[in-house]
């Protein structure tokens, strides 16, 4: 295969590429950030915060317009708003002295919370003061005394308001409307740590507001007096009815007692011991004595029946028997003496024996008499006991009958005493209740009566105008802030500044190309034919910031240049319209200006542009080469077009019509073509279609030494760039890095100031 240049001089200018080391492949990009993380690896809460003061300063005129609009609205509000006056009255809640004149004895509410100045009672009174019933009575009372409203103080706003037809109203109607305002705006609250209650009301008339509160306090006091008077009157009436009942019960109890006394015959004395009681006690004593005597005699009699007479104490101790027994002993001793000398038949012995027999008979007779006497004594004691027991039983019945009468008497007397006590107590309390009804007592005292306020509570011109102004300004600033936040959230998914791609994609940022619209110096005209195309910016204005930015990006690319062959770089973007062609041309120009032979190939067979940039319409190019039947021996000089830029050649897309451009890239002649071109050029740049919509960049990347991914500030999404890098990583194609295109720095950027001073001032 031979290659000849135009006029046979083209390839004589080309020098073979110097061998060197092959560029290293970058590590794979990091994993995608988790949800809730920002696109450069930080949490969303750590994204750059919008400056409040910068936002206000950028939109100062708009905020000033809102401020003026707010002031106008405030003036209109003050003008059309009917003035409202706020009046207040302070009352004190005091407790009752329940011990005064025994009020606690007849007051049904004594000892309850309604008669004290406790926190709960204060809260209760505040609710009563604003209740519908008392407000209705105040309204009825004031309607009877309603007078026309006095005119408002002569102010600028009042005079303007008086000229408004809708604001003109009859004075009496104004008074009724003012009363309704007071009725609906009344409020009451307790003053902390005091017994005071403050009542407030607003109205369109200061006199009506003050009169309404004073009438409300007076009505509440009158209501309390009437309520207590009604309670005491009802209590007194109830006590009088109870007093009549008690009097009737007392009369009935007295009549019953008198009737009982008359029927009983007055034969007993309830407070003293009666004769029957004394006799009963005597009989009780006699019965006890006779019972003891009878028991003793019964014991002696029963003992005499079961015991030998000689062993009885009565027999042994009887003097007669003792004398007879002693005489018998003497006679027996004497007989014994006679028998010692005489025989039993002796007269003297016989005589002594006869005496002994007589004495023994007398002894037996006397002993029998003693036993008979014991029996008689027992029988006598038994008869006496029966008689006394009968008398005692009869007396007991008599005393029992008297006790029944006494018990009935005591019950009847107790009923009379109790009825008398109840009647006396009710009579005292009825007199106290009647006296209490005449004592004026109330638990409300007016401390500060309401006075008509001199200044309205609303509207207040100075305050309201300022408030409306700052409210409108705040609303305007809030809308601007919301818009800024929305834009910020919108751009948070985009690459909006330098240093954003590396943390998110894991590849170096090769350079930053500023926006030509915001550049401090306009591009020069090219050959006097209108504005120069942006693709030739680095050639038409070599000392501009744009040219410098392209050279800076080239420096980063050359740092990864292989040394054993001429590099082939794919220049692509994520999507269309991101400036890949502009970047490809300017990088080629920058590389050519440093003495490199550069070939720029337009591989975008769908939407080619290089032929328009360099004025090469209708020239054969890449499509013609890839569709030719034989590549070996084909003269390539007619496919390579020199440019105005020294050492820069361009291969256009060609003239052949291709239905499926990507299908040609699977041909082995692509690799053969690039290998041939690498022998005669120091660097080959491939301007490919966007990587996401078309596969061309991925197919060309298999034959290239690296890919330069162009991202456009504010246009390219981070997810799109991430997806593009993932696809190259899957294909094993190294991504050299990204170039941020069309970046618009702030107007106060120090880089612009530095460049303008050091470069533009010398032009």
Cα angle, residue 620 at apex, residues 617 and 621 outer, rounded to 5°? 105
Q: Is the pLDDT of residue 676 over 50?
A: yes
Average pLDDT over residues 116-137: 84
pLDDT in tens, 388-440: 777 767 667 666 666 666 677 777 778 778 878 887 887 777 776 666 665 55
Quote the tokens at residue 381.
């004691």
Average pLDDT over residues 13-38: 37
Residue 32 or residue 177, greater confidence: 177
- pLDDT-based confidence at 710, cuts 50/70/90? very high
Select 493-521+531-762's CATH number: 3.90.76.10, 3.40.50.300, 3.40.50.2300, 3.20.10.10.
3.40.50.300
pLDDT of residue 112: 55
Task: Judge if the upstream peptide bond of residue 563 is cis by omega within 30 degrees of 0.
Answer: no
pLDDT of residue 410: 73
Average pLDDT over residues 435-463: 77
Q: What percent helix, strand, coil does the chain show, rounded to 5?
A: 55, 10, 35
Task: For the beta carbon of residue 522, count every other beta carbon within 10 angstroms.
Answer: 12
**Of 82-91, 195-204, 206-215, 225-234, which range is least confident?**
225-234
- pLDDT-based confidence at 312, cuts 50/70/90? low
Average pLDDT over residues 254-269: 68
Q: How distant, in Å, are the alpha carbons of 45, 179, 433, 442 from that of 224?
A: 64, 24, 17, 6
Tell me the DSSP string of 506-547: SS-EEEEEE-STT-SSPPPBSTTSSBPPGGGHHHH-TTSHHH
Residue 61 or residue 442, greater confidence: 61
Domain with CATH 3.30.70.1130 in the chain: 70-237+442-448
pLDDT of residue 663: 80
- pLDDT-based confidence at 651, cuts 50/70/90? very high
Q: Is the pLDDT of residue 58 over 60?
A: yes
Residue 669 or residue 508, greater confidence: 508
pLDDT of residue 157: 57
**What is 70-237+442-448's CATH number?**
3.30.70.1130
- pLDDT-based confidence at 44, cuts 50/70/90? very low
pLDDT of residue 39: 35
Domain with CATH 1.10.287 in the chain: 275-431
Q: Is the pLDDT of residue 219 over 70?
A: yes
| DSSP three-state, residue 602 | strand
Q: Is the pLDDT of residue 103 over 60?
A: no
Residue 718 or residue 260, greater confidence: 718
What is the CB-side half-sphere exposure of residue 303 using CA atoms within 13 A? Answer: 14
Residue 99 or residue 732, greater confidence: 732
Residue 728 or residue 20, greater confidence: 728
pTM exceeding the 0.75 threshold for the entire prediction: no
DSSP symbol at 22: P
pLDDT of residue 641: 92
Residue % of the chain over a pLDDT of 90: 14
**Of 80-94, 165-179, 235-249, 613-627, which range is least confident?**
165-179
CB–CB of 507/722 below 8 Å? no
Strand ranges (DSSP E) for 73-147?
A: 85-93
Residues listed for the chain = 763
Phi then psi for residue 35, to 5 deg, are -65, 145
pLDDT in tens, 162-193: 666 555 556 677 778 888 888 888 999 888 88
Cα angle, residue 566 at apex, residues 575 and 571 outer, rounded to 5°? 5
pLDDT of residue 24: 33
- pLDDT-based confidence at 542, cuts 50/70/90? confident
- pLDDT-based confidence at 711, cuts 50/70/90? very high
Q: Is the pLDDT of residue 598 over 90?
A: yes
CATH topology of domain 275-431: Helix Hairpins (1.10.287)
The chain-wide mean pLDDT, for the chain, equals 75
Domain with CATH 3.40.50.300 in the chain: 493-521+531-762
State the first-to-last Cα distance of the chain, in angstroms, to the nearest integer. Answer: 48
Calpha distance 212→89 (Å, rounded): 10
pLDDT of residue 340: 80
- pLDDT-based confidence at 96, cuts 50/70/90? low
Q: Is the pLDDT of residue 5 over 80?
A: no
pLDDT in tens, 358-398: 877 877 777 777 777 777 777 777 787 777 777 767 667 66
pLDDT of residue 700: 92
Q: How distant, in Å, are the alpha carbons of 501, 570, 575 from that of 721?
A: 9, 16, 9
pLDDT of residue 724: 92
Q: Is the pLDDT of residue 640 over 60?
A: yes
């Amino acid at each position: 295969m031979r290659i000849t240049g135009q006029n046979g001089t083209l390839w004589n200018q080309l020098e073979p590429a110097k061998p060197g080391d092959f560029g290293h492949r970058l590590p794979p990009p990091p994993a995608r950030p988790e949800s809730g993380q920002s696109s450069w690896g930080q949490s969303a809460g750590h994204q750059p915060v919008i400056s409040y003061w910068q936002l206000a300063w950028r939109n100062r005129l708009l905020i000033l317009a809102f401020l003026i609009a707010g002031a106008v609205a405030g003036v209109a509000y003050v003008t059309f708003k009917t003035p409202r006056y706020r009046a207040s009255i302070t009352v004190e809640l005091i407790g009752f002295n329940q011990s005064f004149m025994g009020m606690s004895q007849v007051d049904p509410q004594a000892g309850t919370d309604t008669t004290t100045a406790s926190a709960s009672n204060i809260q209760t009174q505040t609710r009563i003061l604003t209740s519908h019933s008392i407000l209705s009575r105040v309204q009825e009372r004031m309607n009877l005394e309603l007078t026309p409203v006095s005119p408002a103080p002569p102010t600028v706003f009042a005079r303007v308001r008086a000229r408004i037809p809708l604001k003109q109203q009859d004075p009496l109607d104004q008074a009724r409307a003012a009363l309704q305002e007071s009725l609906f705006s009344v409020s009451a609250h307790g003053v902390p740590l005091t017994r005071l209650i403050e009542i407030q009301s607003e109205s369109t008339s200061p006199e009506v507001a003050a009169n309404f509160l004073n009438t409300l306090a007076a009505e509440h006091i009158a209501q309390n007096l009437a309520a207590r008077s009604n309670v005491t009157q009802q209590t007194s009436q109830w006590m009088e009815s109870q007093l009549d009942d008690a009097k009737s019960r007392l009369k009935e109890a007295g009549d019953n007692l008198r009737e009982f006394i008359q029927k009983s015959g007055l034969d007993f004395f309830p407070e003293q011991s009666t004769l029957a009681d004394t006799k009963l006690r005597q009989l009780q004593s006699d019965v006890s004595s006779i019972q003891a005597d009878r028991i003793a005699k019964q014991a002696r009699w029963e003992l005499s029946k079961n015991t030998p007479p000689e062993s009885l104490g009565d027999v042994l101790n009887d003097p007669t028997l003792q004398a007879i027994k002693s005489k018998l002993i003497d006679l027996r001793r004497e007989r014994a003496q006679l028998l010692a000398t005489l025989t039993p038949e002796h007269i003297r012995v016989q005589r002594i024996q006869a005496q002994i027999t007589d004495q023994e008979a007398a002894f037996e007779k006397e002993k029998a008499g003693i036993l008979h006497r014991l029996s008689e004594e027992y029988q006598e004691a038994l008869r006496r006991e029966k008689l006394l027991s009968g008398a005692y039983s009869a007396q007991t019945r008599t005393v029992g009958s008297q006790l029944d009468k006494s018990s009935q008497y005591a019950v009847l007397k107790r009923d009379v005493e109790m009825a008398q006590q109840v009647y006396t107590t009710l009579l005292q309390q009825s007199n106290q209740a009647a006296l209490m009804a005449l004592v004026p007592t109330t638990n409300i005292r007016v401390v500060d009566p309401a006075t008509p306020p001199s200044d309205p509570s609303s509207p207040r011109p100075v305050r309201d105008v300022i408030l409306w102004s700052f409210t409108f300004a705040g609303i305007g600033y809030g809308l601007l802030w919301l818009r800024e936040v929305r834009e910020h959230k919108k751009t948070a998914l985009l690459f909006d500044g330098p240093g954003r791609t590396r943390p998110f994609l894991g590849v170096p940022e090769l350079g930053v190309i500023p926006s030509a619209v915001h550049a401090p110096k306009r591009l020069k005209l090219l050959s006097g034919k209108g504005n120069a195309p942006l693709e030739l910016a680095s050639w038409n204005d070599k000392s501009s910031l744009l040219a410098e930015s392209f050279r800076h990006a080239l420096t980063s690319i050359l740092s990864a240049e292989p040394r054993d062959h001429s590099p082939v770089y794919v220049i692509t973007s994520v999507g269309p319209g991101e400036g890949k062609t502009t970047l490809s041309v300017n990088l080629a120009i920058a590389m050519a200006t440093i003495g490199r032979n550069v070939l720029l190939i337009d591989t975008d067979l769908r939407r080619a542009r290089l032929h328009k940039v360099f004025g090469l319409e209708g020239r054969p190019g890449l499509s013609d080469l890839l569709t030719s039947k034989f590549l070996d021996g084909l003269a390539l000089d007619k496919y390579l077009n020199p440019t105005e830029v020294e050492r820069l050649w361009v291969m256009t897309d060609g003239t052949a019509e291709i239905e499926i451009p990507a299908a040609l890239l699977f041909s082995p002649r692509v690799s053969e073509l690039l290998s041939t071109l690498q022998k005669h050029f120091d660097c080959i740049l491939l301007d490919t279609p966007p990587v996401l919509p078309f596969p061309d960049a991925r197919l060309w990347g298999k034959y290239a030494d690296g890919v330069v991914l162009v991202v456009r500030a504010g246009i390219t999404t981070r997810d799109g760039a991430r997806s593009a890098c993932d696809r190259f990583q899957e294909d094993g194609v190294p991504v050299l890095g990204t170039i941020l295109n069309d970046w618009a720095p702030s107007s106060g950027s120090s880089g612009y100031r530095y460049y303008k001073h050091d470069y533009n001032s010398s032009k």
